[in-house]
Amino acid sequence: MDLSSEKIAVIGLGYVGLPLAVEFGKLRPVVGFDIHRERIDELQRGCDHTLEVLPEDLARATQLRYSCDAADLQDCGVFIVTVPTPIDRANRPDLRPLVKASETVGKALRPGGVVVYESTVYPGCTEEVCVPVLERHSGLRFNRDFFCGYSPERINPGDKVHTLTTIRKITSGSTPEAARQVDALYAGIIRAGTFPASSVRVAEAAKVIENTQRDLNIALVNELSVIFDRLGIDTTEVLEAAGSKWNFLPFRPGMVGGHCIGVDPYYLTHKAEEVGYHPQVILAGRRINDNMARYAARNVIKLMLCNGIDVARSTVGVMGITFKENCPDIRNSKVADLVAELRKWNVQVVVADPWALPDEVRAEYGIELGVIDAQRPVDSLVVAVGHEQFRGLELPALRSMCRGERPVLADLKALYDRRDATGAGFTVFRL
């Protein structure tokens, strides 16, 4: 087995797949495959709406070809699967994109081929779910005719410092030789180096606990935020004081959305329950984090009522809909939950976001993006995302966006000085 001369196919050209295809495409022949024709057309024009890859980097990937035709995969010897692995409404793993991608790869797989999965899964998923699909559609035998690997993605959307090549990469393979070849494959593009795991299942488990750990840490500070609010203590001030100790972890409260932290723990708990263990701590953390949007919205309503605002005839401006700051990624945004909770009180909600794509927001959440400014003032404001455009606003400008004498400012990301905001005429709530 020698992968150095094989053409690579990257299946799925989203936040994970495109940077990977581009890096490999600078060095060797690559087919970037995606089922969405509009995505292929966009990339062929040299544009990436996710903003993860700059036009000049797209241009440098001279050996990368984009396609939505599965026939173009037939001469590939290495397949890297980077499709989404979401959860359904019941918080169960939705493996349909992974299975469909495996079917597509299986039809193109030939003897000696290697399939590497990067999508986040639970331990055992590659060999228990994906491999049977590959065998069925290829007619080949696993670990005799073809081999598999798992190398979990570590992409952080919007982060221009910790990028694909600067983050150490976990690698693994279904046999010792496959593991060696998969590691060598990634070592060719990852400047930060690789970490060969002892097995595919270990690599899968390592990925899923990375975000579970973060989820639990955020759940802890979210619960502390609820407690401190009842005690009349500002959580941000408490965390800043505690942070003066060298080993205090700098987590902050917030709404946990996105494609990883708010999703991955459910993959682990699903597998745990499958083997007869009901997780306690992990699911408790999930319950806390999943309820923070509702908690924030209800506090806004409570303060508006206390201030004499006619809630049922009011308009609340929500600044930000993406799941994190300074990127257009709206996947699993908990701001949408906050909007839905506000609307239950018959509040008219105006959502503004300079980073989000209006068509995507409309298609995903049924929300039309609007404008919040001094010419179109609202009764209260929720600053839900820490975009640089919002951080740069002066409090008088923010106050001009609100009518009435006692508007509420829900500064959920603690962007502004609480005392200054109070001095500007706001009743302030923050997590």
Catalytic residue IDs: 260
Which uninterrupted H or E stretch holds 147? Answer: strand 147-150
Backbone angles phi, psi at 290, to 5 degrees: -65, -20
- Both tokens assigned to 108: 């193109």
Structure tokens that stand for 218 in this block: 């955020």
Reported in sequence order, the residue ranges of 218-314 that DSSP labels E, i.e. its strands, are none
Cβ-Cβ contacts under 8 Å for 285 (sequence gap 6 or more): 215, 216, 218, 219, 220, 265
Coil/strand/helix, residue 173: strand
Residue 315 backbone dihedrals phi, psi, to 5 degrees: -125, 130
3-state DSSP helix/strand/coil % of the chain, to nearest 5:
40, 15, 45
- Whether 255 and 341 have beta carbons less than 8 Å apart is answered as no
Question: Which residue has tokens 């996710």?
Answer: 50
Residue 44 CA neighbour count, 13 Å, CB half:
13
Q: Which two tokens stand for residue 245?
A: 């100790």
| Strand boundaries in 250-398, DSSP class E | 315-319, 348-352, 380-383
Q: Cβ-count burial of 360 within 10 angstroms (0-12 exposed, 13-18 middle, 19+ buried)?
A: middle
* Helices marked H in 26-147: 37-44, 55-60, 96-108, 125, 131-138
The backbone torsions φ and ψ at residue 82, rounded to the nearest 5 degrees and listed phi first, read: -130, 35
The single residue listed with the structure tokens 């401190």 is 228
| Contact present, 64 and 32 (Cβ < 8 Å) | yes
